[in-house]
Structure 1
Amino acid sequence: MVIGGALTHPLMIQAFEASQAPGAAVEHFLGIPVTFINYSSSVIPIILASWVSCWLERKSNALLPSSMKNFFSPAICLAVVVPLTFLVIGPVATWLSHLLANGYQFIYAFAPWLAGAVLGAMWQVCVIFGLHWGLVPLMINNMTVLGHDSMLPIILPAVIAQVGAVLGIFLATRDARQRVLAGSAFSAGLFGITEPAIYGLTLPLRRPFIFGCVAGAIGGAITAFSNSYAYSFGLPNIFFPAQMIPPGGIDASVWGGLIGTGVAFVLACVLTFFAGLPRASAAPGAVTVARPRQTIFWRR
């Protein structure tokens, strides 16, 4: 929390705004030039900085006496990680986000269906690591400059595919706890919130998450091949197709997006239902009902 607060401190935001002015002087720290970046809407730098801080904390705890760990270990982590984030981690993480966005643009210009397959397959993986934030500014820029965006319709099958995988778990499992989790995650996923589905079910079970990504890739390829666009920014959910209707009315691009989304949902559900769970239950803790033992009395 302290690292995130340092990155988004109002003084650092002011320093970023001042660095954008023409002729602004370059600041240095220990002789190293500082690249000011607005981290207020970023996630990757904080995640990477937290990982480095955890690694450094383990090393410092191993070297420091037990009587000094509680005070000096956090102090060392903050003194090292915060400057390192501003100098190295933050710029590198931002570069990775931009690389992801530029890579999508290059692939989409070369083959839209391929870009749809890649983005549909990798979207939930990017969400796990926070890399999807690198694409959000590009979506907003497309809306502002072009009046439409091609990524949001592709993301819709990726989201709905995880919902389909959760439905497959709900139908296949005999574990009472999993059924409760799947039911609530399914409801949240319909409205675009896939975190309960991913972290609660599909990712721990692995195969449902993979099936969801595969189905998202196929649905994304169909959607991109249909040249589907979103004409307003919003969270991909069951109501999102209304945002894909062009000013001229419903056309083939809208139907293509709906078909791609439907294919992703059905495919993820079917694959998960038949092959997504262990045969025994589908998971440890399955609730089974034993058949009562029958006693037969013979009469002569």
Structure 2
Amino acid sequence: MNGELPSKEIITQVRGEDKQEPTYGSSKTAAGGNPISRLLDFISGVFTPILPAMIGAGMIKVIILVLMSFGLLLSDPQVYTILMAISDGIFYFLPILVAASAARRLHSNVFVAAAIAASVFHPQLTSLLQSGEEVRFAGLSVIDPQAASSIILILVVVWIASYVEKWLDRYIPYSLKLMAVPTLTLMITIPLMVFAFGPLWSYLGQHVSDGLGWLFDNAGVFTGLLLGGTMFLLIIAGMQYIMLPIMISSLTTLGYDHIFPVVVAAAFAQAGATFGVLFKSKNAKVKTLAFWTGLLAMLGIIEPAMYGVNIRFKKPLIAVMIGGAVGGACMCLFETELTAIGASAGLLSLPLFSDSTLVYAIVGMLISFVTAGVITYFMGFVDEKDEQSQIVSTSGMNASPNSVVEKSPGS
């Protein structure tokens, strides 16, 4: 037996090298196109292997919410807590899975990337951050808990970590690689995330929240147009909860909220665009994916539809923006009122709307859904040939990244 084999195997793992085929949207496939298109390809490719778990957990969450709407599960809080942990686990720790998937596509060590993302989820740190006290380290501000859920932030940090790791691997002597490369990569990138990018992201999020709050007070319909059309950007940025304090304050003082209905309209725009893909595509696997993710989006679980379909095919995002903007404007125009904030931004939130504005809420949902769906259908997109589909299977593995694509009629 070769005595060097164990050490070589360990070093290979440290470098993040493996023998698996690159997933769809790898650096080779994303070499062309404009920067925005390449970014969307990268994000879609990162989420493709995670989709089965997201869809499964999303369905469990929907079942739990349906059971709760019929008054079940409420008698046993422990059962409810356990079931919610099962359904929410992947979404709570999604940044860790995203970090690992992104590192695999960047050809860096997936476990080092996962460790970077996991560092901000340590129970003692999260407890300290959520205590309400100002947390500082050596005079520096520390990452806000909401910033840790930012997909863009995690992708940026993992991207930087891939360059740091490759640079260290190139210049550090072979005998020190196993110890020095992962150690220095963690010591360089985690402080960047915790002390630099995280606080900056939180600072930007606070200003976005203040700006939207001011707009809702002074330019209602325009604000619905703006927030409804850009909600998916806030979700990618991890800023989807920035309006929560304002919504809670409004519910406390006025007894109703005007912001969450716009979020519901944006969710239905995601669903509508996904169903537009369903009816337009000629690919059976794309249709299946679009149906189930679109159904989840209608019930308020929009991440699978957004990352698995609309970002993947790019053009549906335009329909999402238009449909969300029109629907959000309608919600604000009719002053649709929500009397409580629920766990779902979809159909299951209907009982939470005030009786006097329920009809307007349904109209706003339909407008978002139909507008996004019709625009997606007639705008078209780059479809995939059925026999070479790149849609992820339940095993998490993809078809060849060199799949041929064809234009849908009208694209």
Alpha-carbon separation, structure 1, partners of 2:169 and 2:222? 48
Alpha-carbon separation, structure 2, partners of 1:159 and 1:18? 31
Q: 1:56 to 1:143 in 2, by over 3 A?
A: farther
Q: 1:185 to 1:84 in 2, by over 3 A?
A: closer
2:359 match:
255
Alignment deviations for residues 244-287 of structure 1 (CA, whole Å, 9 cap, x no partner): 11xxxx22x33332222111111111111222234xxx333379
TM-score (norm 1): 0.79
1:243 match:
352
Letter in 1 for 2:140: V
Alpha-carbon separation, structure 2, partners of 1:149 and 1:85? 34
* Structure 2 residue 133 is the aligned partner of structure 1 residue 20: yes
Alignment deviations for residues 146-184 of structure 1 (CA, whole Å, 9 cap, x no partner): 433222100111111111111111112111111111121
Alpha-carbon separation, structure 1, partners of 2:253 and 2:148? 22
* Structure 2 residue 104 is the aligned partner of structure 1 residue 104: no
1:285 match:
386
Letter in 1 for 2:282: R
Q: 1:133 to 1:67 in 2, by over 3 A?
A: farther
User: Once superposed, what is the RMSD of the aligned Cα atoms?
Assistant: 2.8
Letter in 2 for 1:256: Y
| Equivalent in 247, 258, 265 of residue 150 of structure 1 | 258
Q: Per-residue deviation at 1:41?
A: 8.0
Asked if structure 1 preserves the Cα contact closer than 8 Å seen for 2:269 and 2:369, the reply is yes
Q: Which secondary structure does the structure 2 equivalent of 1:133 belong to?
A: coil
1:230 match:
338
Alpha-carbon separation, structure 1, partners of 2:132 and 2:295? 45
Q: 1:35 to 1:191 in 2, by over 3 A?
A: same
1:172 match:
280
User: Which of 188-197 and 211-220 deviates more?
Assistant: 188-197
1:53 match:
161
1:295 match:
none
* Structure 2 residue 116 is the aligned partner of structure 1 residue 3: yes
Alpha-carbon separation, structure 1, partners of 2:337 and 2:225? 16
How high is the sequence identity, in percent, across the aligned residues? 24
2:321 match:
213
Letter in 2 for 1:7: V
Alpha-carbon separation, structure 1, partners of 2:120 and 2:236? 21
Letter in 1 for 2:115: V
| Equivalent in 40, 56, 79 of residue 187 of structure 2 | 79
Asked if structure 2 preserves the Cα contact closer than 8 Å seen for 1:154 and 1:220, the reply is yes
Q: Per-residue deviation at 1:10?
A: 4.4
Alpha-carbon separation, structure 1, partners of 2:339 and 2:363? 19
Letter in 2 for 1:272: T
Q: Which secondary structure does the structure 2 equivalent of 1:185 belong to?
A: helix
Q: 1:13 to 1:68 in 2, by over 3 A?
A: same
Alpha-carbon separation, structure 2, partners of 1:18 and 1:168? 44
Letter in 1 for 2:271: V
2:149 match:
43
Q: 1:149 to 1:208 in 2, by over 3 A?
A: same
Alignment deviations for residues 113-159 of structure 1 (CA, whole Å, 9 cap, x no partner): 11101110111122122221323344334334443322210011111
Q: Which secondary structure does the structure 1 equivalent of 2:386 belong to?
A: coil
Alpha-carbon separation, structure 2, partners of 1:271 and 1:51? 34
Alpha-carbon separation, structure 2, partners of 1:140 and 1:16? 20
Q: Per-residue deviation at 1:206?
A: 0.8
Radius of gyration: which is bigger? 1
Letter in 1 for 2:350: P
User: Which of 99-108 and 8-17 deviates more?
Assistant: 8-17
TM-score (norm 2): 0.59
Consecutive unaligned residues in structure 1, runs of 5 or more: 288-300
Alpha-carbon separation, structure 2, partners of 1:18 and 1:161? 36
Runs of 4+ that moved beyond 6 A? none
Superposed counterparts of 1:176-191, under 5 Å:
176-191=284-299
Alpha-carbon separation, structure 2, partners of 1:74 and 1:274? 49
Q: Which secondary structure does the structure 2 equivalent of 1:149 belong to?
A: coil
Give the number of aligned pairs. Answer: 272
Q: Per-residue deviation at 1:43?
A: 1.5
Alpha-carbon separation, structure 2, partners of 1:231 and 1:41? 28
2:9 match:
none
Alpha-carbon separation, structure 2, partners of 1:83 and 1:236? 35
Asked if structure 1 preserves the Cα contact closer than 8 Å seen for 2:147 and 2:201, the reply is no
Q: 1:76 to 1:152 in 2, by over 3 A?
A: same
Consecutive unaligned residues in structure 2, runs of 5 or more: 1-113, 389-411
